[in-house]
A and B are shown apart, each in its own frame.
Chain A
Amino acid sequence: MSVINYASREINCKIVYYGPGLGGKTTNLEHVYARVAPETRGKLISLATENERTLFFDFLPVDLGTIRGFKTRFHLYTVPGQVYYNASRKLILKGVDGIVFVADSQVDRAEANIEAMQNLYDNMSEYGYDITRMPFVIQYNKRDLPNAASIDELDQILNPGFEVAETGRQKPLEDPNRPGTMLVQQLESGEWVERAPTVEAVAVAGDGVFDTLKIVSKLVLKSLAASS
């Protein structure tokens, strides 16, 4: 839940990086931490186990600039990817404004990706949040690995599109970040579907990390603007 604070002239938003274990969620935050100017970010907090697996969450606050005199401050969180940490994973989703799903592109991680995506839908719906109606970006990470599945294959299993029922939103919409790819389109069956925007990434090298952050933060601010 975004907090607009007139006293401190800040807009605070919460973005959660979700996805299977060892998919690169923490790596995304570490890259942002390393590359943004120190005066625009806070401390990177990691509640991790001794062998650097996320136990509860990682947290990094970053300022992305000023709009109408208000500082836009994004709180980036990761969740623990391992299946048995669901209780803490769910806690972190509380009050979320935007989600980044970091998928592991490797063919043999398909099942883990699907399980994590299902878990995200389940946890969101338990809070009464509708993920199909909020800022949601999928990052296909580890694109450099030889056993990476194709984007089409990943789209099929993780981003098949959800039905657009409202007639007002039933119009073709191209993904501004992937020309030639549609975010909203009508299928041959006549049904209108919307897909989440996707980004290809190699988070360890920093490729796609800022593109992902930019797309999700912009969506968050736009959805906030639409609700004002």
Chain B
Amino acid sequence: MARASHWTFTQDDADNITRILQLFLQETNSRSAMLVDRAGQLVTTVGEQPQFDATAFATLAAADFSANDQLARLIGETDFTTLFHQGERDSMYVADVARRLILVVLFDTRTTLGLVRLRLKAAVTELTAIFERPADADAGFDAAPGILAGAEDDIDRLFS
């Protein structure tokens, strides 16, 4: 079997991401920020814990972003780096991070789109620095020892 491509989020990664996003939420008075990988998997949520199904939300947000990426290409753009969905009370702003993740910010009338957009640039730059670390070509950035190394028997037991 070929080496599976995967990436690992260590506790350090999670702490750094949380620190960056918490500061962003404070500065902009936004409600919450979610980091989602391009394949639709939720990496982390910071701020108000969502009252909706966050897993489904992450999947739909990633699909939305990917669909828009293709729309961009059809009109001759390489991509749309950000998306904005405006609601009556709640809105969401979605931005690309290092071409591997998307950052979804939920905010309401306590802030403005301009402020969110302004501060988001700095947050995205900081997040990009985390995710653009040199990567092993096969394994993403597997900094931590592989949790599944030698776990063949455990896997067999899980399905027995």
Question: Which positions in A face B, CB cutoff 8 Å?
Answer: 1-8, 11-12, 14, 42-43, 45, 47, 56-57, 59, 61, 64-65, 67-68, 70, 72, 75, 87-88, 91-92, 94-97, 130, 133-135, 214, 217-228
Pairwise interchain contact A68-B14, C-beta atoms closer than 8 A: no
Pairwise interchain contact B66-A94, C-beta atoms closer than 8 A: yes
Residues of B within 8 A of A135 (CB): 1
Chain A CB within 10 Å — which of B40, B43, B44, B139 has the most?
Answer: B40
Pairwise interchain contact B2-A133, C-beta atoms closer than 8 A: yes
Pairwise interchain contact A6-B11, C-beta atoms closer than 8 A: yes
Distance in angstroms from A145 CB to nearest chain B CB is 29
Q: Is B90 an interface residue (CB 8 A)?
A: no
A59→B62 CA distance, assembly (Å):
12
Q: Is B146 an interface residue (CB 8 A)?
A: yes
A91→B68 CA distance, assembly (Å):
11
Select from chain B the residue with minimum beta-carbon distance to A228. Answer: B146
Pairwise interchain contact A72-B158, C-beta atoms closer than 8 A: yes
Pairwise interchain contact B70-A91, C-beta atoms closer than 8 A: yes
Pairwise interchain contact B40-A218, C-beta atoms closer than 8 A: no
A2→B13 CA distance, assembly (Å):
16
A6-B147, A221-B155, A225-B146 are known contacts; what are 20 more A-B pairs with Cβ within 8 Å?
A: A1-B6, A4-B144, A4-B147, A4-B148, A7-B9, A7-B14, A7-B15, A42-B56, A56-B63, A70-B147, A95-B40, A97-B6, A133-B1, A135-B1, A221-B158, A222-B1, A225-B149, A227-B4, A227-B146, A228-B145
Pairwise interchain contact B148-A225, C-beta atoms closer than 8 A: yes
Select from chain B the residue with minimum beta-carbon distance to A98. Answer: B4
Chain B CB within 10 Å — which of A1, A214, A223 has the most?
Answer: A1
Pairwise interchain contact B41-A12, C-beta atoms closer than 8 A: yes
Enumerate B124-159 residues with CB–CB distance to A below 8 Å: 138-140, 142, 144-152, 154-156, 158-159
Pairwise interchain contact B8-A225, C-beta atoms closer than 8 A: no
Select from chain A the residue with minimum beta-carbon distance to B149. Answer: A228
A214→B159 CA distance, assembly (Å):
7
Select from chain A the residue with minimum beta-carbon distance to B60. Answer: A45
A68→B148 CA distance, assembly (Å):
8
Q: Is B55 an interface residue (CB 8 A)?
A: yes
Pairwise interchain contact B7-A6, C-beta atoms closer than 8 A: no
